[in-house]
Structure 1
């Protein structure tokens, strides 16, 4: 039976088990006490937080990570600025990035979610407002959500992946994980 692990990847942790490229290794998945033989189904940038799925089943890994399967991923993005509906329309239509146009995203403003504190915290600027967006995409390009929000003039300050398909990070503290029944 396939293993499936839901992990709340902390800010600053790599989505791999070792950091072979850096002369002074950065935090990686190996420090989180995960079981042997599981591997990430997709990536989450070092400066992003939230749900990362790990499995020991190659087919399940492909179904989760490969864009052709169109598994939706939900992100909560704290952005610089006070986004209006007009600001969000380009994201809903798809924006052009340096590697081509994105698929349309589902985007809506949300109230600031009740999340764990980030370490280090986001720098607060008294003169610059910020807002929270829920962004749902089914692609998985490198730093895609950050690049999309920047393309419409709303730089991302904090990015949390809350959901992948039917699985959420709810109830997991940063670095926490749980094994669930694989589909």
Structure 2
């Protein structure tokens, strides 16, 4: 069987699944609305409903396992509430304690830094807020682990909750100039 692989720009407000039979989710948006994906397709990792950006899809379970392993970096741009301090950045780099599966978990060391200018990203479909609510900061965080809502929990743990979260890179695959909702079929992933 020849596997299929896709790179997509997951929009804000979509779930990282293709359809649902759950009546509670009838008002939700799904990836299946973006493209007619083949049977057996699965997201490699997930982005929660309020997160956006680069999402890889495949029919190859071994490829999915490898990319989800701790061998492949995932880079995010996060807009956080407040003027983030160097102390908070150092905390992110060194690892912080977050809740995971009802227990405390210390995140692994990662790369984190404040962005000097706003990243070149498309406008989000839902307005975040305006300057009347105080300052914000853009940061870059690169992890090679991926616990549930990890980046959001990490920025909150250092006192700067995430307002917008965009995954911009998985391994050597970048979001580049993709537009929200773009779907690109590729021959294979080179991560």
Give the TM-score of the pair, scaled to structure 2.
0.90
* 3-state SS of 1:157 partner: strand
**Corresponding residue of 1:172:** 178
Higher deviation after alignment, 57-66 or 137-146: 57-66
Q: Which of 58, 63, 66 pairs up with 1:60?
A: 63
Shift of 1:124: 1.4
Q: Which of 78, 102, 106 pairs up with 2:107?
A: 102
Q: Which of 13, 24, 33 pairs up with 1:31?
A: 33
**Corresponding residue of 2:21:** 20
Shift of 1:71: 1.0
Q: Does 1:43 align with 2:46?
A: yes
Give the distance between the partners of 1:89 and 1:34, measured in 2 at CA. Answer: 43
Distance 1:49 1:23, change over 3 A: closer
Q: CA RMSD in A?
A: 1.4
* 3-state SS of 2:153 partner: helix
Give ranges in structure 1 of 5+ residues lacking alignment.
none
Given that residues 78 and 156 in structure 1 are in contact (C-alpha distance below 8 angstroms), is that contact kept between their aligned partners in structure 2? yes
Give ranges in structure 2 of 5+ residues lacking alignment.
none
* 3-state SS of 1:77 partner: strand
Shift of 1:180: 1.8
Given that residues 35 and 183 in structure 2 are in contact (C-alpha distance below 8 angstroms), is that contact kept between their aligned partners in structure 1? no
